[in-house]
Structure 1
Amino acid sequence: MNNKQPSLLIIGCGDLGTRLGIKMANESWQVYGARRNISQLPNAISGIGLDLYQENLPINWPQHHLDYIVYCVAPSKAEHNQYYDLYYKGLQNTLNWLQQCQQVPKRLFVISSTAVYAQNDGQWLDENSPTTPDNVQGKTMLAMEQLALQSNLASTCVRLSGIYGPNRTYLINQAKQGVHYPDQPPLYANRIHIEDAANLIQQLIQYQQTGNILNNYYIGVDDNPAPIQETLAWIRNKLNITELADEYSERRVGSKRLSNKLAKTTGWTPYYASYQEGYSKLLDN
């Protein structure tokens, strides 16, 4: 590796991590992507096969200095009951491997979730709002964040909400099934297009790389939290779907509006500012 070439290791290099890795490689970074199966990774990303559940140092772990780490894991369908092992213990193992190799990156980015917020009355929240999660996902994410921030590494937690995009069409599928909710109360949902999520992480890395100071937390969402009722109705209209399910669906978890103002102070802005822009492109394809 060229000594002047900055390096990035993405742990859990799936859809989001691969998009980020390609962007950074295009900026002449040395990018490593760690995941269980590396056969799907593009040539621009150097694959590292690892199992986060194993405590031993992965055989092909890079031995030189690493500038940045992005911990970006996501459970497979079979792993949904292993949240704690994947998010918390997996990060614990990663921190141990870094310590073992005496690697102290400039910053660790932990990709978290807005599930850390339990508020559900439609109120506006930001990075300073209380985090009192009331479900396993939120509690695990908060524990993972605290592990990162209490480590010996400078760390930033990026709280993403409602990632959608190609191959992430949950809401479109719901609209096709005629899922609907009572008109009142409005159930606010927050989302971010996966391309905007990758751009945000890239911007945060480059923001620090150019000498700026990062916060410990950033919320990653688009500009327009919208009631799920409105969003589903809009998608149904685009698809000319008029038939609704016989019964209302049960209320989804939470109703809150999340602010992206702090993320925007770094120079990032979402390309898909609302669900209309993002879903229009998906529905046109």
Structure 2
Amino acid sequence: MARLFIFGLGYTAKRIAAVARSRAWHIDATGSAGNVDFADHAAVVQALEAATHVLSSVPPDRKTASDPVLDRYREALQGRPLFYLSSTGVYGDQQGAWVDESSPTGTGRRNARSDADAAWMAMNAHVFRLPGIYGPGRSALERVCDGKARRIDMPGQVFSRVHVDDIVSGVIAALIQDAPPGAYNLGDDFPASGNAVTEFACRLLGVEPPPLQTLEEANLSEMALGFYSENRRVANGKAKRVLGWRPEYSTFAEGLSALLGS
């Protein structure tokens, strides 16, 4: 029986686990919804010894800037296929240019994430670099309804994004195909401005879009300001070629329309 051990059963990993279970995989996992305590070294090592595949969705520790999974369990991870959910933030600001898996990393604001990405690559892992994730309960629709949506006056600013279900299908494709290790960008086919996404969500909901604001007027958090400091388009061709993957929601319009109807 195929057995998947998951470090960090969060928003995306829960959905990966559900699809894997539907394919008769056995799942062990850490996290609040998991069955293994991350701090119980013996229990984790025992589960890892039984695992045929290992997935980590645990981000770097903000205080130590290191990867907690590799810090504690690097040796126990040896000898089995490894999968890691990373971020396209590793590519840094590209002034709107396209990046792919061959583009340099480690030049952006998220140095800890870049270091963790590189560490998992050195472990010969399958590293999935993810842009902004949206899906049920976590999209522009909720931000508009909650009064938290913003339109920022930054001409030329674009982002890539991905529906959570398309992350799931990409990871599952790699799991079941014995895909070659390395980096894979999983994003939709249509990088676009945050304003375009907000405006489309407003049209779906039948409400007026929020006014255009400068960054200063928007009074954004430090994390959100950092998000707007980078501008890039993320290419997904490698995942299509190597994994045979195609995003079900190739644009934000398809993704948001499906979420509204769900």
Tell me if TM exceeds 0.5.
Answer: yes
1:102-117 correspondence to structure 2 within 5 Å: 104-105=79-80, 107-117=81-91
1:139 matched to 2:111: yes
Alpha-carbon distance in structure 2 between the residues aligned to 1:125 and 1:59? 36
Q: 2:100: which partner in 1?
A: 126
Q: What percent of counterpart residues are identical?
A: 23
SS at match of 2:28: strand
Q: How far off is 1:177 after superposition? A: 4.2
1:68 matched to 2:53: yes
Q: How far off is 1:272 after superposition? A: 1.0
Q: Quick one: structure 1 residues 111 and 187, their matched pair in 2 at CA, closer, same or farther if it must change by over 3 Å?
A: same
Q: How far off is 1:58 after superposition? A: 3.6
Q: How far off is 1:120 after superposition? A: 3.5
Q: Quick one: structure 1 residues 249 and 180, their matched pair in 2 at CA, closer, same or farther if it must change by over 3 Å?
A: farther
**Is the 1:219–1:263 contact (alpha carbons within 8 Å) kept by the matching residues of 2?**
yes
Alpha-carbon distance in structure 1 between the residues aligned to 2:144 and 2:155? 19
Q: 1:167: which partner in 2?
A: 137
1:1-285 correspondence to structure 2 within 5 Å: 5-35=1-31, 37-38=32-33, 47-51=35-39, 56-58=41-43, 61-62=46-47, 64-73=49-58, 81-82=62-63, 84-85=65-66, 88-96=67-75, 98=76, 104-105=79-80, 107-135=81-109, 138-151=110-123, 154-169=124-139, 172-173=142-143, 176-177=147-148, 179-182=150-153, 185-208=155-178, 213-242=179-208, 244-245=210-211, 247-249=213-215, 252-265=228-241, 266-285=243-262
Amino acid at match of 1:270: P
Q: How far off is 1:34 after superposition? A: 1.7
1:234-272: per-residue Cα shift (whole Å, max 9, x none)? 122222322534733457131111111101111111111
1:201-220: per-residue Cα shift (whole Å, max 9, x none)? 11111121xxxx51410001
Alpha-carbon distance in structure 2 between the residues aligned to 1:117 and 1:205? 25
Alpha-carbon distance in structure 2 between the residues aligned to 1:83 and 1:28? 37
Q: Give the paired residue count.
A: 250
Amino acid at match of 1:95: R
Alpha-carbon distance in structure 1 between the residues aligned to 2:5 and 2:240? 24
SS at match of 1:115: helix
Q: 2:222: which partner in 1?
A: none
Q: How far off is 1:74 after superposition? A: 5.0
Q: How far off is 1:63 after superposition? A: 6.2
Let me know the Cα RMSD of the aligned residues. 2.5
SS at match of 1:192: strand
SS at match of 1:70: strand
1:8-31: per-residue Cα shift (whole Å, max 9, x none)? 111111221121112111112122
Structure with a larger share of its residues in helix:
2
**Is the 2:202–2:209 contact (alpha carbons within 8 Å) kept by the matching residues of 1?**
no
Q: How far off is 1:83 after superposition? A: 6.9
SS at match of 1:188: coil
SS at match of 1:254: coil
Q: Quick one: structure 1 residues 89 and 224, their matched pair in 2 at CA, closer, same or farther if it must change by over 3 Å?
A: same
SS at match of 1:224: coil
Q: How far off is 1:66 after superposition? A: 2.0
Q: Quick one: structure 1 residues 116 and 63, their matched pair in 2 at CA, closer, same or farther if it must change by over 3 Å?
A: closer
Amino acid at match of 1:23: V
Q: Quick one: structure 1 residues 83 and 258, their matched pair in 2 at CA, closer, same or farther if it must change by over 3 Å?
A: farther
Amino acid at match of 1:181: I
